[in-house]
Structures are given as structure tokens and as C-alpha cells.
Structure 1
């Protein structure tokens, strides 16, 4: 439980700091024998600020519940 709580806190903090992630995918448009046409598409994955805060808060709750259970 302790590890899961710490991971949730770290992921939540990273989501607060990095509000979006950009990545590129390659897509094959046409394949005409020796000639290949490929297209690069850029995508953006974004999330709201409260999602990162919520995940970090869940990590704190899991961490607190795990430490309370063992003592």
C-alpha cells in the first residue's frame, strides 16, 4: 500500500507540473510498390489541474490508510 500511495503522489505532482504531453505518430497513407507515403501526426494529451490534485490527494489517503492499518 505504501508503494501505491507514493506512486500516486508522484504521478499527481507530475500531472500538476506537466499539464499536457505532446507526441507524434507516423501513419502510412499509401504504399505504391517502391514508393511509400507516410504522414506524421502530432497529438496533444492534456488534463485539467484538478485531476493531478485529485490523484495526489488519493495517494495521500492511500498512504495514510496503509500506515494506520499496520500500526
Structure 2
């Protein structure tokens, strides 16, 4: 049950990552791929990602913002 609740929380982040992608797409020199719980994947930068980050829950996502 907790897993379903956590998966549904990823959807609100679509808009946030979309804004980040637009703002930094041309500025990131090292492409990054962020995998959220529930199968959501976000790419920042152009080209094949050199860094892949796995975020398992909203607490992990919050930690990235610190």
C-alpha cells in the first residue's frame, strides 16, 4: 500500500523537472539522468547520461535539494 502512495507522489514532480530541463538544458555540460520511484525518468543535459541517480522515495528527492 505504501508503495502505491509513493508512486503517485512522483507525478507532481513532472512539472518541476520540465521547468528545470528548460532552464538548464544548454548549461549542463555533463548529462544527468534521474530515476524516480514508479518508473519516472528525467534527463538533464544533452547526450548520453554520464551520471545516473536513483531516487527511491520522496525523502531521497528532498535530499537532492539540500
Larger relative contact order (CA 8 Å, sep ≥ 6): 1
**TM-score, scaled to structure 2:** 0.27
**TM-score, scaled to structure 1:** 0.25
- The structure in which a higher percent of residues are strand is 1
